[in-house]
Homo-oligomer: A and B are copies of this chain.
Amino acid sequence: MSTADLDAYCDKHQPRFLDEVVEFCRIPSISADPAHAADVRRNAEHLARAALDAGFTTAGLIETPGHPAVYAERIVDPALPTALIYGHHDVQPVDPLGEWTSPPFEPRVDGGLLHCRGAADDKGQVWMHLKAVEAHLRVRGELPLNLKLVVEGEEEMGSVHFEGLIEAEAARLGADLCVVSDTAMHGPSQPSICVALRGLVDLEVEVTGPSRDLHSGEFGGAVLNPLEALSRILAGLRDAQTGRVTIPGFYDDVVELTPEERAGLGAIPFDEAAFREVAGGVAATFGENGYTTTERRTTRPTLEINGVWGGYQGPGPKTIIPARAGAKITCRLVPRQRPDVIAAQVRAAIEAAAPPAVRVSVTIGSANKPVVTSTDHPGVRAAARAMTEVFGVEPYYTREGGSIHPVEMFDRLLGIPSVLVGFGLPDDCIHAPNEKLDLGQFRSGIRVLTRLWDGLAEALPGHAPEGH
């Protein structure tokens, strides 16, 4: 279907679209700062009104124990496919304020860039969605599929109440696909679609020896030192030569990449020296043998020691054998590792490594599933076509090493896959002073999304009415 009509509408109204984003960005919706709670609510109310203006048929707030989310929908026909748009309307704090070249909540347009907090993360991208919907409705009178919109107010606080919201609103949020625009493209003129996120489990280890710190002169050599036992346990969890986690069963459920997937990742430009610089200037990379740096950090599971403590940490020596020692561990997981299985394996391996002269306890914390959306998924294919048409180049299929909690929650709680089409750029300074949005990306993003609705309407299977 031609989208010349939609493009023409958007181009004509682009100045107003920009004015609207500027207006939205003036509201300092810093979720982490309790002093801005009223701003976050005002922001949500502003967004709900804008959703109605754009053409959603219902729009309102969903309350949480924290800041409210915004929910809107336009159900054209239950037999049509349904997409759920996810975004967030809260923004990061602005410290250090002195490093901003203009006030963070006084949006400034300059040289094709919109400078302000929230411009790229995520207000500008939420607005692209509203305007793509508006274009469809104003130009064609109706959407080609059903759309639902949920815009969280606590994403920058770790989506602390979003799981509860999804569970409470499961019936309303049901959809065939979730479309998330809260990430960046690989680079300018280089679109990308993130198709996998690693999962996470966290554990804490405590090694207990004597009931009090012992004098190392009096007891040294005759009692097992909890720090020695802990060091040995931690060192044993990974092979120093191969870089592989040694825990029995750890890799059993890992889905190896296909040669095509590896080739696709390998095609993404990567500069090892630049990566080492970004990684805090490390002298060398290190990881699992047989995998590239990109594969290691996004497609392979890992086990990291996040903290260790025990004994004396002050200046000078202290001649003790400490009573106890502890460590925090997180594992990053890839499809189809199961967090509960991995946590149990790690615990079992640590307990099996515990020498009899100390007591070792392992506490399992929170868990996040790894998520993946196949590059063959019709939603991913539709997104790729839309991006290719707008940017003139096919997108890279990327993977992220970290988690995006809402994506994992939609997958785990509702069984909804996500397609991550983000229009930020790597130099947008999100979470930092002088955040900006490239207005070319703003325009292109809306174009991609108008095409995406057409594409999804064709690609996603419809739902035949009951009885037919």
Interface residue ranges, A against B (CB under 8 Å): 198, 200, 202, 209-212, 214-225, 227-228, 230-232, 234-236, 238, 240, 275, 279-288, 293, 296-297, 300-302, 304-313, 316-323, 325, 327-328, 330, 332, 355-359, 365-366, 400-403
Contact = CB atoms under 8 A, between A and B. Distances in A.
7 contacts: A222-B293, A223-B279, A225-B304, A235-B236, A307-B320, A308-B325, A309-B313
A281 B210 CA distance: 6
Nearest to A314: B307
A283 B358 contact: yes
A42 to B, nearest CB: 31
A266 to B, nearest CB: 15
B222 A287 contact: yes
A309 B227 CA distance: 10
Contacts of A310: 305, 307-308
A183 to B, nearest CB: 13
Contact of A214 (B221, B279, B287, B358): B279
Contact of A228 (B200, B238, B285): B238
A216 B330 contact: yes
Contact of A286 (B287, B320, B357): B357
Contacts of A224: 282, 284, 286
A236 B236 CA distance: 11
**A-B CB proximity, top 9 nearest:** A217-B402, A210-B280, A307-B311, A221-B302, A202-B317, A224-B286, A231-B234, A307-B312, A235-B235
Which of A285, A359, A366 has the most B CB atoms < 10 Å from its CB?
A285
A307 B227 contact: yes
Instruction: Select the residue from A304, A330, A365 with max chain B CB neighbours within 10 A.
Output: A304
Nearest to A211: B280
B321 A304 contact: yes
A387 B358 CA distance: 41
Contacts of A320: 306-307
Contacts of A232: 231, 235, 240
Contacts of A211: 280-281
A202 to B, nearest CB: 4
A80 to B, nearest CB: 36
Contacts of A282: 209-210, 223-224, 357-358
Contacts of A236: 235
A121 to B, nearest CB: 16
A306 B297 contact: no
Nearest to A240: B232
Given A223-B282, A279-B214, A317 B366 contact: yes
